[in-house]
A and B are shown apart, each in its own frame.
Chain A
Amino acid sequence: MAAIAYGQPMNTFIWLPAEKVPVFIAFLCVAAALLGVFFLKRRGKSFKIRTLPGALAIEEAIGRATEMGKPVFFTSGTGEIDRMATLAALSVLGEVAYKTAQYGTPLFYPNNDPVVASVAQEVAAEAASKAGHPEAYKPENVFFVTKSQFGYTAHASGLMERIKPAATLYFGTFEGESLILAETGFAQGAIQIAATDSTIQLAFFLVACDYTLIGEELFAAGGSLSGDQEVLSSIVAQDWLKAAVILLLLIGAFLVTFTGFNLASHL
């Protein structure tokens, strides 16, 4: 199957370009694993995932903020709405906003992206209503600041200095601002919990925060907090896939070491 260039006449049209076949197979595997897990769940099988200390610490951090009468600070970094990390962060925001509304603790969420800000306002409002305290949602506390990376960082750090949060939650995509925010939060004496898909920033969060959710734990945090069985099931599917990838890596390492056959070049 030869690849075709965009804009070529229809008579040379090929449904699936050759270079996308491995991605398509991988996509089918993920979809099959997810659907398989949902099928098993429908038939009554229940799934459990290991507890994530970072996710459990969120409730503890909100409780501490409530006891101290201080606010909770949340940020999803500089990611836009099309990033999965941002959507995962918004899931966590839903749970955080629910708990803070229940306890009557103020929640601050300055935002770097106008679309994320609009969605975040809806999420926080819905969570407050679900908690039975719609008045707990304050639109002026969940707001858009600026698209400028360091303009946003300056505002978020300044806000932390002024409101002195007892808990700071960094969930989403971060770049150079990660350590500035985390160190400002540390200076306020807040419990700090971070989760990001930015591998370079993970190192900064690991040294500056009390709890750091690594890699895919960010995507599992929302489901882990809400206890939503369907979300938890899909995380089990992720684990199956991870096991399959590890097996593939081991086979590849074995083949290349003992036979010289490079499996990676054929995928």
Chain B
Amino acid sequence: MTRRLVFWITLSFGLFMIFQFFIPVFNGAYRKVLDWMQVIYLSSLLVGVIALGLQHLKKVSGQSPGWAYSLVTIIGLLAMPVASIWGTGENSAFFWLFNNLQVPMQSTVFSLLAFFVASAAFRGFRARSLPAFLLLISAAIVMLGRVPIGTKLYFDFPTWAQTLLDVPGVAARRGILIGIGLGSVATSLRVILGIERGFFGRKT
């Protein structure tokens, strides 16, 4: 019964979305749907945050392995909304916490990417086969074309690098994008028509 209901809701809203895209008269109704989506999204966010809090509370109360991390999560989860009670302006505690804790932590994780790029490049650029050798050569040209020392070594490296990016690079990317576009449309139609129903949930 639930799955049948999900199917009919998916079908009606899917068809509506197709119609509203092509026919402008549905624009008002489309905006209403977007408002509903915000409401549904916020409700699910609340459910998600409560479930997360309860899960970590359980870990802390049961002193299960890694419970200290869960305690930090709970403190973080509570600290921001509590701090926002006293305002979110430039001189507020909320703003201070955001600027001095959240932003540096996010930047730290992002900065790890530089090291991971280096380690992945080291593995990826080993010339074990002809395609890997071609990858190595192209990567070397593109890298040399992007740094001043490349131009000092050979004046035309930047042109070679740009040609590699603009011609074979764009051709491959467009090929993949055409496949992705067709795949997306076909998947959408499968979902709307109820052929792909793996995410419909439990049978009740």
Contact = CB atoms under 8 A, between A and B. Distances in A.
Interface of A: 4, 6-7, 10, 13-17, 20, 23-24, 27, 30-31, 34, 84-85, 87-88, 90-91, 93-94, 114-115, 117-119, 122-123, 125-126, 129, 140, 143-145, 147-151, 153-154, 158, 162, 176, 179-180, 182-183, 197, 199, 202, 204, 206-208, 214-216, 218-220, 222-223, 226, 230-231, 234-235, 237-238, 241-242, 245
A129 B102 CA distance: 40
Interface in B3-55: 18, 21-25, 27, 40-41, 44-45, 47-49, 51-52, 55
Contacts of A223: 196
B177 interface: yes
B100 interface: no
Contacts of A153: 109
A182 B189 contact: no
A179 B202 contact: no
A197 B180 contact: yes
B24 A4 contact: yes
Contacts of A90: 198-199
8 contacts: A31-B189, A87-B196, A87-B199, A93-B198, A115-B40, A143-B52, A145-B52, A215-B180
Chain B: number of interface residues, binned into ranges: 35 or more
Contact of B106 (A14, A118, A148, A183): A148
Contacts of A214: 176, 179
Given A144-B48, A179-B117, A215-B179, A119 B184 contact: no
Contacts of A87: 187, 191, 196, 199
B94 to A, nearest CB: 15
Contacts of B106: 148-151
Given A6-B24, A179-B113, A122 B202 contact: yes
B110 interface: yes
A13 B25 contact: yes
Contacts of A16: 22-23
Contacts of B188: 84
B1 interface: no
Interface stretch (B83-91, B118-126, B144-152, B155-163): B118-126
A91 B199 contact: yes
Given A197-B180, A234-B195, A238-B183, A126 B203 contact: yes
Nearest to B106: A150
Contacts of A119: 199, 201
The 7 closest A-B pairs by CB, nearest first: A207-B124, A114-B48, A144-B48, A216-B183, A122-B201, A219-B183, A216-B179
Nearest to B199: A90
Nearest to B111: A150
B52 A27 contact: no
B121 to A, nearest CB: 7
B134 interface: no
